[in-house]
Amino acid sequence: MMHSLLHKGLRLLGILLAFAGSLPSAYAQMPNDAIYMGKKTACLAVSYTHSSWDQYWENSLKRENLNIGTHTTQSVMPMLAVGITKNLNAIVALPYVWTRASTGNLMWQKGVQDASLWLKYRFLNKSGFSLHAIGGASLPASDYIPDFLPMSIGIQCRTATARLLASYRHTSGIYLTASGSYIFRSKINIDRDSYQADDKLYNTSKVSVPNAYDASARLGYLKKAIQAEAFVEYGACDGGDNIRRNDMPFPTNNMKSTVAGVYAKFQPKNIGVNARASHVLSGQNVGQSTAFSVGVLYQFRYAKEAKN
């Protein structure tokens, strides 16, 4: 069996940053596929993502904002996927993110965002059908500003994700994968000691960020060096408030989005490339972003006598 690389995926904190555009991680090599690195092999991927929007949903009102113009989020994300056993993979990633607005006076932000670690475990694999339990956690990796949306590169949450994924792959190479996750998000500290959320004034610097969940379905083809896929993803917060009329977004906002996209990978040998494109079809409290990513992959053995 061919050792594939994983990746794509999304969601790491993609959902957190839905407003800033689907993050780099948005297609990072998140474990939302059913593809595993073989034992003692690893894959290093570096991806670049460009995501932008010029319209966003303020609560449910779709609008433009001439004081932002086109909002762009770019990122570079190195990611390492390691085959521990053939049914257990670990993935780590650390994106560098920068934002900009084409007009207006908001200061652009940049920096190392959140480090993430994922464990992906295939606990059933029968006749092309497989089930996977995936756990992930992320931690802010720098002291970036959380409370300056939409320019912030992140919102400083620690997160933990529990995900179940089911996949069926036909011998022809066609596969169908579906997953659902719940994302626990920690409280955060902002620089102010007073803010509004849920129509209430809070006199503290602690902010309760709502948890989130997501679901995705992907239909694709995987054989030999080629993978191609179309996907739909839905993500939303478990509660949260809305952007107030003509106000800035805030970490407590219930950001929701439905995203559609395509993904492809070509990896004839150790070195490969991939690309991804996605577009937000509908949303609330997020920008209607269109994102493109390209990445290079390098697969290697990190120990001798690797066996699949």
Shortest CB 122 distance to another protein, Å: 9
Closest CA to 280 of 250, 241, 239, 235: 235
Question: With binding defined as CB under 8 A, does residue 121 bind another protein?
Answer: yes
DSSP per position, 12-62: TTTTGGGTT-S-SGGGSS-S-SS--PPTTEEEEEEEEEEEEES-EEETTEE
Q: Does 248 bind another protein (CB under 8 A)?
A: yes
The Cα–Cα gap between 188 and 168 comes to 39
Does 184 contact another protein by CB under 8 A? yes
Does 170 bind another protein (CB under 8 A)? Our answer is no
The answer to whether the CB of 17 falls within 8 A of the CB of 187 is no
Q: Is 198 in the site for another protein (CB under 8 A)?
A: no
Cβ proximity to another protein: between 162 and 215 the closer is 162
Our CB check for another protein shows the closer of 243 and 291 to be 243
Q: Is 171 in the site for another protein (CB under 8 A)?
A: no
Structure tokens at 80: 């390492």
The two three-digit tokens of residue 220, written as one number: 């694709």
Q: HEC profile for 240-281?
A: CECCCCCCCCCCCECCEEEEEEEEEEECCCCEEEEEEEEEEE
Residue 264 C-beta: closest distance to another protein, Å: 30
Q: Does 148 bind another protein (CB under 8 A)?
A: yes
Does the protein bind another protein through residue 160 (CB under 8 A)? Answer: yes
Phi, then psi, of 21 in degrees rounded to 5: 110, 160
Tell whether residue 203 is a contact of another protein (CB under 8 A).
yes
* Interface contacts to another protein, rule CB under 8 A: 63, 66-67, 103-108, 119, 121, 123-124, 126-127, 129, 131, 133, 135-137, 143, 145, 147-148, 158, 160-162, 184-187, 190-196, 199-204, 206-208, 210-211, 244-248
